[in-house]
Amino acid sequence: MPIGGRLGRNRKRDGSRTCAVVHCRGIEVSRGLCRTHYQRVFSVPSKRWTDRGFGAFVIPIRELGRPQEQLLAEQRKAVREYHRRNRDVLNARKKIKRQELRDLVLDKYGKFCQCCGEDDIRFLAIDHIHGNGNKHRREIGQGTYRVYTWLVKNNFPPGFQVLCHNCNLAKGFYGVCPHTNFRIAEACNAQLGTLAL
């Protein structure tokens, strides 16, 4: 945050002053800085934050004159170091969040395969009913959990169903699941049997 000249020169027409940080148009609160920059400079991080390694995110007053790029690089380095040290804990949290998201989506669309009735959650997947899944994933970004997030953000729109992985792949490869063909054949045989009687 480079300082834009002397602190007293940033006076507005109404008598108030703007923040001394370059390109900041915030109103001065104290010591020539707006509320945001004042809190970033003078706030003392809580013990909880410093114990977690976040103490480097608060910019000390002596750092005000240093180039912003250098400060941002140091902050990025501190974040990377924090993630490196706590990789296992962070990955465990992400796994729990992803599982909760998946459970929420499967609850809304039904927790069983719409084709064969499989209800073991480990085998279930979300299927695009109209077969445009690849195009949709390219639009919103690759990854299963991006699809789940998109479904939640868009309030679980129609056009999706739950299928087991076998039925989903068969539908993708052959256009229709063999279970569907089998049920159609059984229904036809049943109708022919009743007509023959």
What φ, ψ does residue 11 adopt, rounded to 5°? -85, 135
Cα 191 from Cα 189, distance rounded (Å): 5
**162 falls in which pLDDT band (50, 70, 90)?**
very high
Asked which of 26, 58, 85 is the last residue of a domain, the reply is 85
What φ, ψ does residue 163 adopt, rounded to 5°? -130, 155
Q: Are strands 124-128 and 160-164 parallel, antiparallel or unpaired?
A: antiparallel
30-39 pLDDT, tens digit per residue, is 777 787 777 7
Domain that holds residue 73: 7-85
Asked which of 85, 113, 139 is the last residue of a domain, the reply is 85
Copy the structure tokens of residue 134.
């690849």
Q: What global pTM score does this model have? A: 0.55
CA distances from 178 to 105, 115, 169, 170, 181 (A): 26, 9, 11, 7, 5
In a domain, 26, yes or no: yes
